[in-house]
A and B are shown apart, each in its own frame.
Chain A
Amino acid sequence: AQSVTQLGSHVSVSEGALVLLRCNYSSSVPPYLFWYVQYPNQGLQLLLKYTTGATLVKGINGFEAEFKKSETSFHLTKPSAHMSDAAEYFCAVSFFGNEKLTFGTGTRLTIIP
């Protein structure tokens, strides 16, 4: 069975500081990994995804993530936080032949002015 663990339900960073949101997955087959962002009272927006190929993936709004198979991780980073990054972030996993996304419990990111 596949699963996703997001360490830290709440993360606070200062504006301009590094953002690091952690995601570890469990999958017996090669995973497909996703990060979504959810702003208040809105649906989920895809930030970036890893399917195959390059393990460092870049997404929208300056975010990037690196797939590390040896660590079963897919952590999300952004070099410099902006106030507009305040939202909830979800990591999700899927694999070929299984259509559903399995989500982590989410990390709420707060930006301190």
Chain B
Amino acid sequence: GAGVSQSPSNKVTEKGKDVELRCDPISGHTALYWYRQSLGQGLEFLIYFQGNSAPDKSGLPSDRFSAERTGGSVSTLTIQRTQQEDSAVYLCASRLPYLGDSYNEQFFGPGTRLTVL
């Protein structure tokens, strides 16, 4: 079946511009996560959605970062006024509702590589 998809795969933007990154989770997956992978910081959690609500936004690095999820499916991560330090790979993951031994088994998409010039 189809996995988690993300678009675009690559995004090059100029400092100060806004960008939107999209994530399509696996059908039926109720939870969705955003992570960031960068050379200096490794893999960092950004935000978690359960349905359309975001109970944990603790990883968003600044108020320039926001995310939403609609229809319990697609999510968009928006970075306003991008800075060079925002350059990273942004990974999305999703998981099924908790059943049996599937606790927190997250399935990752291929990521969006963001380069801020």
Tell me the complex Cα distance, A15–B41, Å: 31
Q: Is the interface of B mostly helix, strand, loop or mixed?
A: strand
Tell me the complex Cα distance, A41–B6, Å: 13
Also in contact, A100 and B110, with CB within 8 A (given A32-B104, A43-B4): no
Judging by beta carbons under 8 Å apart, are A100 and B56 in contact? yes
- Going nearest first, the 4 A-B pairs with the smallest beta carbon separation are A43-B108, A100-B45, A103-B43, A44-B108
Contacts of B42 in A (CB 8 A): 103-106
Known: A99-B33, A100-B59; 12 extra A-B contacts, CB below 8 A, are A32-B103, A32-B104, A43-B91, A43-B108, A44-B93, A46-B105, A46-B107, A100-B45, A101-B33, A101-B35, A101-B45, A106-B43
Show 7 A/B contacts (Cβ-Cβ < 8 Å), sorted by A.
A34-B104, A42-B111, A43-B110, A53-B101, A90-B43, A99-B31, A99-B48
Residues in chain B within 8 A of chain A (CB atoms): 4, 31, 33, 35, 42-43, 45, 48, 50, 55-56, 58-59, 91, 93, 101, 103-111
B33, B108, B111: the one contacting A100 at CB < 8 Å is B33
* Chain B residue nearest in CB terms to A51: B103
Beta-carbon contacts under 8 Å, A95-110 to B: 96, 99-106
Judging by beta carbons under 8 Å apart, are B106 and A101 in contact? yes
Query: What is the minimal beta-carbon distance from B44 to any residue of chain A, in angstroms?
Result: 8
Judging by beta carbons under 8 Å apart, are B101 and A51 in contact? yes
Judging by beta carbons under 8 Å apart, are A45 and B108 in contact? yes
| Count of chain A residues with a beta carbon within 8 Å of a chain B beta carbon | 24
Tell me the complex Cα distance, A50–B111, Å: 25
* Chain A residue nearest in CB terms to B59: A100
Contacts of B55 in A (CB 8 A): 99
Tell me the complex Cα distance, A51–B106, Å: 13
- A82 within 8 Å of B (CB atoms): no
Tell me the complex Cα distance, A34–B107, Å: 12
Beta-carbon contacts under 8 Å, A9-66 to B: 32, 34, 36, 41-46, 49, 51-53
Also in contact, A42 and B33, with CB within 8 A (given A49-B105, A103-B42): no
Tell me the complex Cα distance, A52–B4, Å: 27
Judging by beta carbons under 8 Å apart, are A94 and B104 in contact? yes
Also in contact, A43 and B111, with CB within 8 A (given A32-B104, A101-B106): yes
